[in-house]
Structures are given as C-alpha cells and as structure tokens.
Amino acid sequence: MFKDPIVEEVRAARQRHSARFNHDLDAIVADLKEKQRHMDRPVVSRTPKQPMRKAS
C-alpha cells in the first residue's frame, strides 16, 4: 500500500499535538480555540446545508 508522505506528516503532527494534552479532547479544543483567537485572518463560519430529500 502506498504511503503518502504528506498524509504521514500531518498524522505525526496531529499525534504530537494530541500527546501534549495527554490526548484530552477538551484540552486540545481549548488550545485550538486559543490559537484561533490570535490569528491575523478571519475565521469563516458557514451554516450547515440541509440534506436533500430522496425522490419518491
């Protein structure tokens, strides 16, 4: 199976970041939100799309 080096790099970075917070999801989210507050770029937030209904 082909291993994409970019995917491997992203996974490794995610693992290192998660390990910094003992894999505590609440702590990870809090850290990412704090980083987001200090960004120089606007954060885009979109409303979710409604699923399409199946034709009968």
Using one digit for the tens of pLDDT, what is the confidence trace for 24-42? 999 999 999 999 999 998 8
Residue 44 counted as domain residue: no
Residue 53 counted as domain residue: no
Residue 17's domain comprises: 5-37
Number of domains in the chain: 1
Confidence of residue 18 (pLDDT cuts 50, 70, 90): very high
Confidence of residue 52 (pLDDT cuts 50, 70, 90): confident
Residue 46 counted as domain residue: no
Question: How far apart are alpha carbons 19 and 37 in whole angstroms?
Answer: 22
**Structure tokens that stand for 44 in this block:** 């885009």
Burial 17-37, CB ≥16 within 10 A → b, else e: eeeeeeeeeeebeeeeeeeee
Confidence of residue 1 (pLDDT cuts 50, 70, 90): confident
Question: How far apart are alpha carbons 56 and 54 in whole angstroms?
Answer: 6
Residue 28 counted as domain residue: yes
Residue 25 counted as domain residue: yes
Mean pLDDT calculated for residue range 48-56: 82
Question: pTM of the entire structure?
Answer: 0.64
Instruction: Give residue 56's pLDDT.
Output: 66
